[in-house]
Copies of this chain bind each other. A is one copy, B any other.
Amino acid sequence: MNVILIEAHELTDDGTAVLTDRRAEHIRKILRARPGDRLRVGLLGGLLGSGELLSLTPLRLRCVFDQPPPARPRIHLLLGMPRPITLKRLLRQAAELGLESIELLRTARTEKSYFDSPVLGKLEQYTRQGLEQAGGTRLPSIGVSLRFRPFVEDVLPGRIAANDRALLAVVGAGKPLKSLELAGSQDLHLAIGPDGGWLPFEAELLAQAGFEGVSLGPRVFRTDTALTWAVAQLVCCRRQHPKIAKE
């Protein structure tokens, strides 16, 4: 937990919060903080700041929120619904990477039982863990779509602005993702398939919705490796190249 996240409704007028849950446990047992210590805090959905530990029992923190949270890479994730154990990790990771949103999409290769998983009842819990790790404050929004075609044909186009870029991650042949040249101002939409990949008709519908295939390289990555890999390279593709450009 690299930041203690606090919600606005937990704060009194003078910025004090009384914590009783696993955050209090973490401050006492892991950080072993003492009254007077200052801890890194974040207002969920808002700024970062510091919290002075006023007392351990009850655990009271007086917070000042005055620093901007880390910039986010402005990436929206469209994810073929993975098995629950993978989903848990991906939710944490998406928040850790600072993604804007996650749409969990039922695909032909998604087992129906995945949507009965208790993980779906704890979406905020897992994404919060990702923020606590990374030091972010903004939870990604999360959607669940059980019907592939209506979502891709009717809902998705309304979410992709004219200036956005939509990318479908593939393995092997295809334009390498790492060679894209991206404007810093573009929002990106990244589609990552379920285990085993998209079926051809699914990839075709996504192509019609404006998703261009880009290759992550010759290796077949697990979904979580693919997600981090793709986001890291997209951030890299957005960088400026002043030296090279001047030549």
A220/B134 contact (C-beta < 8 A), A228-B229, A233-B235, A241-B244 known? yes
Write the nearest CB–CB distance from A173 to chain B, whole angstroms.
Answer: 12
Write the nearest CB–CB distance from A41 to chain B, whole angstroms.
Answer: 15
Number of interface residues of A (CB under 8 A): 37
Contact of A93 among B71, B135, B225, B247 (CB under 8 A): B225
**Residues of chain B with a CB closer than 8 A to A204's CB:** none
Interface presence of A217 (CB below 8 A): yes
Q: Is the CB of A220 within 8 A of B178?
A: no
Write the nearest CB–CB distance from A35 to chain B, whole angstroms.
Answer: 23
Q: Is the CB of A219 within 8 A of B135?
A: yes
Q: Is the CB of A96 within 8 A of B236?
A: no
Q: Is the CB of A217 within 8 A of B93?
A: no
How often does this chain occur in the complex, in copies? 2
Interface presence of A36 (CB below 8 A): no
Write the nearest CB–CB distance from A137 to chain B, whole angstroms.
Answer: 12
- Rounded to whole angstroms, the CA-CA distance of A2 and B197 in the bound complex is 13
Q: A155-190 vs B: 1/0 string, CB under 8 Å?
A: 000000000000000000000101101000000000
A245/B243 contact (C-beta < 8 A), A217-B70, A219-B70 known? no
Q: Is the CB of B181 within 8 A of A225?
A: no
Given contacts A71-B218, A96-B219, A232-B236, 16 further A-B contacts (CB under 8 A): A70-B218, A96-B222, A96-B225, A97-B219, A133-B220, A133-B222, A134-B220, A135-B219, A135-B220, A179-B239, A181-B244, A228-B232, A241-B241, A241-B244, A244-B244, A247-B247
